[in-house]
Amino acid sequence: MKYLKVTGHDGLVRDTSNGAIINTNRAEYDRYMKLKKVAEQRNLQLDQISKQSEDINNLKNELQEIKSMILQLLKHK
């Protein structure tokens, strides 16, 4: 395979066989992977918070239904 340097971008080369741009700078790659992992963890945390919020709202609705049922029972006594 033959690579050509990308003008104006240190650490980037173009693969002449398929036109792909390849990052040859290991430090930049490691930084990218670390940022990607942090973003994935953040998205997981946001999903968990969303699920917990949904669960809390469901519990609030169920408690309101139970409260209404109790009040109806007390009215009919």
pLDDT digits (tens, 9 = 90+) for 8-19: 998 999 999 999
Beta strands in 1-77 (DSSP E): 3-5, 12-15, 21-23
Name 15's Cβ contacts closer than 8 Å, sequence gap at least 6.
1, 2, 3, 21, 22
Is the pLDDT reported for residue 77 higher than 80? Answer: no
Where are the domains positioned within the chain?
A: 3-75
Residue owning tokens 């700078």: 25
pLDDT digits (tens, 9 = 90+) for 1-44: 799 999 999 899 999 999 999 999 999 999 999 999 999 999 99
pTM summary value: 0.62
